[in-house]
Amino acid sequence: MPHIINTNATFMSESRKTYGSFPINMYVLNASRTGSDYLYYSNMNQNVRGWKLNATGDLTSSTVSYTSLPIKRDVIKSGIDGEIEGLSISIPNIDRTIESVIQNNNYLRGNSVHVITGFARYLPTGSTSEHIGATQDHNTFIKEKFYIDSVQSNESAVTFNCKSRFDINSIVIPARTFSRTCAWALEIGSGYLGSECDASSNISATTFPTCNGDLLQCRGRNNTRRFGGFVSIPRNAVFIT
């Protein structure tokens, strides 16, 4: 399916200039699959004020702070039949901020990602250091929507492999997460003491009310045969898919 993007006259005019403001790429990750819990990022060396998305994913005239990160993205690729192959977005993971986000949100698989492209001069105007716009106009920005198909994580970056809704609409996303800790304890599937963790109800919820997903805790509960982690995964350069 052709990848069609609607642009207005201002965007087209600005893109043809050989001088003036610079283009800017901004990214919005939705941490909620059923609602809207947006995380705003920009590929800048400082935080900037940008346009806020509403609950339906449309850009509004309201403003919000976009966290600056050296984000890398591949160009959008298409196959010989014209179908979109996908988009790869990498976010630094040095301070483990993004790692915490994906760990707490089931790796965001199936969640939406909005890629927002425009020119800096049309960002919000104001008196703070985050305001870098000169002629604010949220209508000049183009927005592309993708969905996270898989995630790769290591000590340097978290990479989201994204596809259009048409590519994953009929695909069942795997429920397993490959990590050293137990997926059931991290509430993927039925959760700790659920059907995957304790199908026979042998664990005392009074004695062991919680579990941090460590193999030692599973041994203490005499339940290692139901352990949902992969302890053979190396501690360095962990690959999660």
Instruction: Say which residue the tokens 């991290």 belong to.
Output: 186
Is-contact 39 101, C-beta < 8 A? yes
pLDDT of residue 165: 65
Domain positions in the chain = 9-168, 175-241
Other C-beta atoms lying within 10 Å of the C-beta of residue 85: 12
Distances in whole angstroms, Cα of residue 120 to Cα of each of 49, 127, 196, 212: 10, 15, 50, 44
Q: pTM for the complete prediction?
A: 0.61
Q: Which tokens go with 45?
A: 């060396």
Q: What pLDDT, in 10s, does the model give residues 50-103? A: 999 999 889 999 999 999 988 888 765 555 555 556 788 998 888 788 888 888
**Distance of alpha carbon 189 from alpha carbon 194, whole angstroms:** 8
E strand or H helix at 63, and its extent? strand 59-68
Question: What would the mean pLDDT of 218-225 be, rounded to a whole number?
Answer: 92
Q: What pLDDT, in 10s, does the model give residues 178-190? A: 677 887 886 655 6
Q: What pLDDT, in 10s, does the model give residues 194-212? A: 888 988 899 999 999 989 8
Question: What would the mean pLDDT of 6-33 be, rounded to a whole number?
Answer: 68
Q: Which tokens go with 49?
A: 């004020």
- What is the DSSP secondary structure assignment for residue 173, as one 8-state letter? P
**Distance of alpha carbon 28 from alpha carbon 129, whole angstroms:** 21
Q: Which tokens go with 110?
A: 């199936």
**Distance of alpha carbon 164 from alpha carbon 217, whole angstroms:** 40
